[in-house]
Amino acid sequence: MNVQSVSRHPKTAPDQAASLVVLSSISRFIDIFGDPWSVLLLRDVYLGVTRFEDFQKNLGITRQTLSNRLQTFGRHGILVKVAYQDRPARYEYRLTEKGRELADFALMIWVWQNRWAGSHSLLPRILRHRSCGYFLVPQMVCAECRSPLELADISVEAGPGLVEAPQLTGRGRRWAALETRREGTTSQNLLKGTYVIGDRWSNLILAGVLLGIRSFDAMVSVLGISTNILSHRLKICVEVGLLAEPTYNADSRAYDYGLTRMSRELLPLFLSISEWSDKWLRPEGVALPHWRHRLCGHRLVPQVTGRCCGEPVRLSDVRFQQAPDPDAT
């Protein structure tokens, strides 16, 4: 991915300003979803669960934690609480339009986890595309030329409104909860599957590496992360195969962390996050990043289509399945 220079910003190095715009957008998203419980709750919502007791049973989560997460989703307008019965009063949680538009994110998590967490994936194993009847493997393409998106074909620049690169702010990481709960069964694969989605700093580090922020010093300066937290996260990312061991870069005279296939394939996930966050969470006055698909030269609008038929995937067309049908196509 090429980060084109931005000359307006006085303080930040030009090639970092565009990255900061994207990272701050991802960071706002992580403020809501940077926690494995939130991602698993969203999974259940998409699988059609609507009631408190059912969420609790599926997730094995305390009432308090579940209540907090549902409130967070409610506060951000992702779910709405609706009474479905009067006496006694009973409620269910339904997706709003904002919540339904997380479908690309949910589908891209599915693709990545199914590929890299394998049988340890906490998501349904099989999707079917109702409209064509085949197995659904969603893919992210350029809406203009319909080519699948590759990192090398994409560039980003800060929008014209960028006066000052945004600061990355947010709460601390929260990932101990799920790890502890699953201690007995934690495996390398499960770790991979949940770690990347549920940890604030790992998300930002990996998104940064995809954007070309690859050395330890650059990460400290762009992400504003403390060196001990950064060392710890990098060590885990290398251990689980999300990053390659750093190699010396003679041009920048720094050791650069490299992408692996596993982290390269996070691109669609981060693009879906960035798209949704730019639409729904952008603070007033913050410039949007300009993505470009260099393969066709157009402004990049990511779109999720099915490999089955090449048609755009709508949530209502997706059917979830835990195991293959015997008469599957």
The distance of closest approach from Cβ of residue 305 to Zn ion in the complex, given in angstroms and rounded to an integer, is 8
Asked whether position 308 contacts Zn ion by CB under 5 A, the answer is yes
Indicate which single residue of 15, 92, 144, 179 sits in contact with Zn ion (rule: CB under 5 A): 144
DSSP bridge partners of 326: none
Maximum distance among all Cα pairs of the chain, rounded to whole angstroms: 72
The distance of closest approach from Cβ of residue 304 to Zn ion in the complex, given in angstroms and rounded to an integer, is 11
Asked whether position 293 contacts Zn ion by CB under 5 A, the answer is yes
Asked whether position 309 contacts Zn ion by CB under 5 A, the answer is yes
Asked whether position 132 contacts Zn ion by CB under 5 A, the answer is yes
- CA nearest 302: which of 77, 105, 38? 105
The distance of closest approach from Cβ of residue 127 to Zn ion in the complex, given in angstroms and rounded to an integer, is 10
Q: How many helices (H) and strands (E) does the chain have?
A: 13, 12
The distance of closest approach from Cβ of residue 133 to Zn ion in the complex, given in angstroms and rounded to an integer, is 8
CB neighbour class for 87 (10 Å; exposed up to 12, middle 13-18, buried from 19): exposed
Asked whether position 129 contacts Zn ion by CB under 5 A, the answer is yes
Are 293 and 142 within 8 A, CB to CB? Answer: yes
The distance of closest approach from Cβ of residue 145 to Zn ion in the complex, given in angstroms and rounded to an integer, is 3
Are 240 and 261 within 8 A, CB to CB? Answer: no
Q: Closer CB to Zn ion, residue 129 or residue 233? A: 129
Asked whether position 145 contacts Zn ion by CB under 5 A, the answer is yes
The C-alpha atoms of residue 262 and residue 192 are separated, in whole angstroms, by 10
Are 278 and 289 within 8 A, CB to CB? Answer: yes
Asked whether position 128 contacts Zn ion by CB under 5 A, the answer is no
The distance of closest approach from Cβ of residue 267 to Zn ion in the complex, given in angstroms and rounded to an integer, is 14
Asked whether position 21 contacts Zn ion by CB under 5 A, the answer is no
Are 55 and 44 within 8 A, CB to CB? Answer: yes
Asked whether position 292 contacts Zn ion by CB under 5 A, the answer is no
Point out which residues bind Zn ion (CB under 5 A): 129, 132, 142, 144-145, 293, 296, 306, 308-309
